Amino acid sequence: MKRCVAVIQARMGSSRLPGKILEPLHDDVSLLAYQCRRLRHIEGVDELLIATTTARRDNVIADLAQAEGIRVCRGSEHDVLSRFVRAADMSLADTLVRITSDSPFRDPGVIARCVAEHRAHGAEYTRPEAGHLPKGLRAEIVETRVLRQIDSDSATTDREREHVTLRIRENPGAYRCLTVAFPDELHHPEFDLSVDTADELEFVRMIHSSLEARAWPADIGHICALLAEMAQGRQQQQRIAS
């Protein structure tokens, strides 16, 4: 069986909300720590690893990884593609799951489903079908050898290096690409659970506290149910106001 490793790409240098991934989601649990704890055990995934940069300001991410018992790989800040190849070398990964660190609610069940479908179909790149999940709850699965090919290609652009899977997504006919369908009740592309601003940080905190108040687990089904409930409430308020 091929070795599959999930890699969280993480750095402190966000242009819009610096240090956001170490902001608390609840109590003293940061966005990144919460995500690590949720994704520590994913069916079909052999290891969870954090890929950060060699910049001094990212030492705190390496410290968090150590505290959480997760291996860390450090590389270029802007050449994220090379960082993923480095992570694959370190972990002996044949298949990589790409995860960004600014989306705390990523669901291990979604990732497991994508990994299983990826393997079953012999795909080179797999992601959920467009429009089927809220932003921040999706996943990307890619074969390491494909990333190595792109990394070693002298024609690879800086933009492709920064966004890792961009060449695959923009040239799907050149690769064995697969999209995974999810049930209708999860089709909420209008919602965004990634964090890039202070308002979005407050939004995910509110989502967490609302789930806790209902004693609901933070899985994709309950999150989508909560988001749909909130949207319905806003529509009712708008009708009353009009």
pLDDT at 230: 86
**Domain segments of the chain: what residues?**
4-241
pLDDT at 239: 65
The total number of residues written for the chain in this structure: 242
- Strands (DSSP E) found in 87-172: 95-100, 125-128, 140-143
pLDDT at 145: 98
In single-letter form, the type of residue at position 51 comes to A
pLDDT at 164: 96
Q: How many CB atoms lie within 10 A of CB 138?
A: 24
Give per-10-residue mean pLDDT for the chain (242 aa). 95 86 96 96 97 96 97 95 97 97 95 98 97 92 98 97 96 97 92 93 96 96 92 68 62
pTM of the predicted structure, to 2 decimals: 0.93
Output the CA–CA distances (angstroms, integers) from residue 207 to 3, 21, 143, 224, 227, in the order listed.
34, 16, 33, 10, 8
Tokens of 75: 């590389």
Q: Are strands 95-100 and 140-143 parallel, antiparallel or unpaired?
A: antiparallel
DSSP string for residues in 28-64: TEEHHHHHHHHHSS-TT--EEEEEEESSGGGHHHHHH
Instruction: Evaluate whether the domain defined by 4-241 bears CATH number 3.90.650.10.
Output: no
